[in-house]
């Protein structure tokens, strides 16, 4: 197997900082902005964005978490379908700008499920999407508003996202057969 590093720890830090600035710029501050991380790694990323935004803007935006798992937890399967297991959204989504946060955007099916789940909670003003890696191969008409990096991948490639909170270090690498 061939391994190629896409982001090292410093790269990741810069990318998350930029995304935080983009969110603040887009919303002219973060009034009425809330983050919803897709567990597991999207949740950690949402908290990192929350921390960055707090540092830059002095405001602590609400963060929720959504547990959405792919059926049999296998994204390499064609036409996998995500199942929403649980959501921890302890703030009102009504009239809020909800930013979904995930580590990797692939077919878009997980985010579609997340949008459905968010809309079960109320009526957000807008739903946006932030992802660390867009690896292409969308199966739905959906895109990210904030993205760390765009990667041209083969369908069979594996993108590995490691976050210190969960994996002991910060790195993104791609593995090819």
Interacting residue ranges for ligand 5GP, rule: CB under 6 A: 38, 70, 75, 82, 102-110, 135, 158-161
Residue of 36, 52, 164, 28 whose CA lies nearest to 91: 36
Kindly state the smallest distance separating residue 106's Cβ from ligand 5GP, in Å.
Answer: 3
Residue of 174, 176, 175, 173 whose CA lies nearest to 8: 173
Alpha helices (runs of H) in the chain, residue ranges in sequence order? 9-27, 41-57, 109-121, 164-167
Q: Which is nearer to ligand 5GP, 106 or 146 (CB)?
A: 106
Q: Which is nearer to ligand 5GP, 48 or 135 (CB)?
A: 135
Q: Which is nearer to ligand 5GP, 36 or 159 (CB)?
A: 159
Kindly state the smallest distance separating residue 155's Cβ from ligand 5GP, in Å.
Answer: 10
- What residue has token string 């790195």? 171
Kindly state the smallest distance separating residue 37's Cβ from ligand 5GP, in Å.
Answer: 10
- What residue has token string 């902005």? 33
């Amino acid at each position: 197997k061939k391994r190629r590093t896409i982001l090292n720890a410093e790269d990741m830090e810069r990318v998350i900082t930029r995304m935080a600035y983009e969110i603040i710029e887009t919303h002219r501050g973060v009034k009425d902005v809330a983050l919803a991380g897709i567990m597991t790694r999207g949740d950690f990323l949402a908290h990192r964005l929350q921390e960055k935004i707090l540092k830059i803007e002095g405001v602590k935006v609400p963060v929720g978490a959504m547990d959405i798992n792919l059926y049999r937890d296998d994204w390499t399967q064609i036409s996998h379908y995500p199942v929403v297991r649980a959501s921890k959204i302890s703030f009102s989504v009504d009239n809020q700008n909800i930013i979904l946060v995930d580590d990797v955007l692939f077919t878009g099916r997980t985010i579609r499920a997340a949008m459905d789940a968010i809309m079960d909670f109320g009526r957000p003003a807008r739903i946006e999407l932030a992802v660390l890696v867009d690896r292409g191969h969308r199966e739905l008409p959906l895109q990210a508003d904030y993205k760390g990096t765009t990667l041209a991948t083969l369908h069979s490639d594996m993108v590995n996202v490691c976050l210190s909170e969960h994996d002991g270090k910060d790195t993104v690498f791609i593995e090819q057969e």
